[in-house]
Amino acid sequence: MPQLDTSTWLVTITAMILTLFILIQLKFHKYSYPLSPAPKMFKSTSFPTPWEMKWTKIYSPLLPPQQ
């Protein structure tokens, strides 16, 4: 039974990893990323609620009437 020659495996695996690294770098190089990312200022939108527009009186029927 012949012995499996593994002497070229290191070169093959190294070349494969290097090729994958270069291809991934070229793939990422196509995208443009902002140089200094700054937080976006979002304008808070407040929706008017009905109780903000008029005066409301809160009644508490469980308390005895004040005298």
Residue 1 domain flag: no
Residue 57 has pLDDT above 70, yes or no: no
> What pLDDT does residue 3 have?
81
Number of domains making up the chain: 1
Residue 53 has what pLDDT? 58
User: Rounded to 10 degrees, what is the CA torsion of 22, 26, 28, 11?
Assistant: -10
- φ, ψ (nearest 5 deg) of residue 49: -100, 155
Q: State the average pLDDT over residues 41-56.
A: 66
Look-up of token digits 């196509």: 30
Res 13: pLDDT = 95
Residue 53 belongs to what domain range? Answer: 6-60
Average pLDDT, the chain: 78
b (16+ CB within 10 A) / e for 26-58? eeeeeeeeeeeeeeeeeeeeeeeeeeeeeeeee
25 vs 7: which has the higher pLDDT? 25
Residue 65: inside a domain: no
Q: What is the pTM of this model?
A: 0.44
